[in-house]
Structure 1
């Protein structure tokens, strides 16, 4: 039996934490990219299902989770996409399927734009779409010496439970393990300075004319009660991506890997074989 690898690798100027789950009977690899303010933890229910059938690579995107939080790294979606691509090359992975949740969906789309020959197919789970970059006034304000303390205050004010209630359709799913899992990465104070840098670096989501030129087959999976990235964004993405299909999950919010992992797996498996 091939053992799981959990490691940090220095990629593109920053430490990247990842978990690799090999499957000896498959040459297909799923790369899982989480959303904003999240980590590999958000795939805790989907990863065990996928790794029964495929190789699975789950990544903490910098500056989240256990990955590096350097203030010298450029946290643009394009550079994060390049970082993941460099990691795939380092690990010599081929036959790759990239699944991105929320912000991770935009990074997956950047990977398809940059290196379409690397990504066989894309799975966009309630992907971010059509968001502009931060206002110039906010970007300029982020250079203030203590702006990172405001970021910390804002996150503390909203709170983990309130954020989870916003991304889940059924708030009864929230328990101590879930709260702890989503809170733990923010106990490292360095993340707030890195998030301040990310406010300046985030270039906005890919515009329509770029999406029109991404011909990688994409499966869009959306929750019908998504309050963070509403279903109309998914419908628009489905229209703008030339080779896309959309599936809508009923009674589901934004956090589809947590809420409906079995249904997500079912649709992914159907998509892979078509």
Structure 2
């Protein structure tokens, strides 16, 4: 059973990164599986998938700096590279020799940077496998919502501070499949996470990751193309931001692309259809343990 937002927070722990408090959760036993969330939400996105995963793995998640229950410093230079430093330092500090990664949206860019570092021999742990959920892996086919475009614009600071609950809900609902719309309580939770620690005031800073994706496009796409690890993309095809077009591009550019497409599912497959995502992930991990047939 998925935890309430209050229970999610109460069973978490904080650690320090650059003098800032970062929220994290760990549960389960077995091989380490690290979950990285998207924008503009938090680790709580994984709450419906969490009970299924923790039966099989040691599952770790955190709210990256500027998100969820973590600190949200003003006048901070938020970047994907800095978030990758945060995740790398956290995992190395825990002394984990190897990890499996699962990431969504913003978190997929962090994984791409970590893969690039892995290929450079710059990580203190081994990445054993990667599972990606809807994210802007290829900036040329990413289609941001109108609210995301204006947040990124010079007016972004005014827009983020003046964002109303009604505007947020209207835009956020567009990301979900028609059959899997969040209910009122879900939307209240997402809104609470957004506002916690004055988070609404830094949205225009966080969203600059879209420009980073363009600047680092060759490095991050190259990391996917050169990855030696098994990878699977699980994609909600009704996602208006990074759905069907992203899948087509993934198949074009990534060798031996392993893709599971979920019809009528939007941008948050792990929240909309957690059992389908778990089944696809379990099959992926099971296949890693099955030796290839001898020809």
What's the TM-score bracket when you normalise by the shorter of the two chains?
0.7 to 0.9
> Which residue number corresponds to residue 57 of structure 1?
60
| Equivalent residue number for residue 7 of structure 1 | 13
Task: Tell me how far apart the structure 1 counterparts of residues 233 and 111 of structure 2 sit (CA, whole Å).
Answer: 12
- Residues 172 and 102 of structure 1, relative CA distance in 2, 3 Å threshold: closer
Aligned residues: 261
2:189 pairs with one of 181, 187, 198: 181
Q: 1:186 to 1:105 in 2, by over 3 A?
A: same
Residues 152-201 of structure 1: CA deviation (Å, up to 9, x unaligned): 224656222x2332121135642232112101123336324433333456
Task: Provide the alpha-carbon RMSD of the alignment.
Answer: 2.8
TM-score between both structures, scaled by the size of structure 1: 0.83
Whether the 8 Å CA contact 1:42–1:258 is kept in 2: the answer is yes
* Offset, 1:258: 1.0
Whole-angstrom CA distance in 2 between matches of 1:39 and 1:124: 16
Pair 1:149-2:158 in alignment: yes
Question: Deviation digits for residues 100-132 of structure 1, max 9, x if unmatched?
Answer: 111111111211111255211111001222227
Distance 1:242 1:172, change over 3 A: closer
From the superposition, tell whether residues 60 and 271 of structure 1 become closer, same or farther in structure 2 (CA, over 3 Å).
Answer: same
For the pair 1:204 / 2:174, whether they are aligned, the reply is no
The answer to whether 1:19 aligns with 2:28 is: no
Are residue 159 (structure 1) and residue 143 (structure 2) matched? no
> Is the Cα contact below 8 Å between 1:219 and 1:247 reproduced in 2?
yes
- In structure 2, what is the Cα distance between the partners aligned to 1:140 and 1:178? 28
- TM-score of the pair, normalised by structure 2: 0.78
Q: Contact conserved, 1:100 with 1:108, CA < 8 A, in 2?
A: yes
How many Å apart are 1:210 and its aligned residue?
A: 4.5
- Structure 1 residues 262 and 131: alpha-carbon distance in aligned structure 2, compared to 1, 3 A threshold: same
| Secondary structure in structure 2 of the residue aligned to 1:184 | helix
Whether the aligned pair in 1 keeps the contact of 2:151 and 2:203 (CA below 8 Å) is: no
Verify the 8 A CA contact 2:151 2:157 in the aligned structure 1: no
Alpha-carbon distance in 1 for matches of 2:36, 2:223: 21
Does the CA-based 8 Å contact 2:68-2:196 persist in structure 1?
no
202-211 or 87-96, larger mean C-alpha shift: 202-211
Can you give the 5+ residue segments of structure 2 that lack an aligned partner in the other structure? 1-9, 120-124, 145-149, 289-295
Q: Secondary structure of the equivalent of 1:83?
A: helix
Aligned-pair CA distance for 1:72: 4.9
Query: For residues 155 and 75 of structure 1, do their structure 2 counterparts lie closer, same or farther at Cα, with a shift above 3 Å needed?
Result: farther
The CA distance in 2 between the partners of 1:175 and 1:34, in whole Å, is 20
Specify the alignment match of 1:233 in structure 2: 246
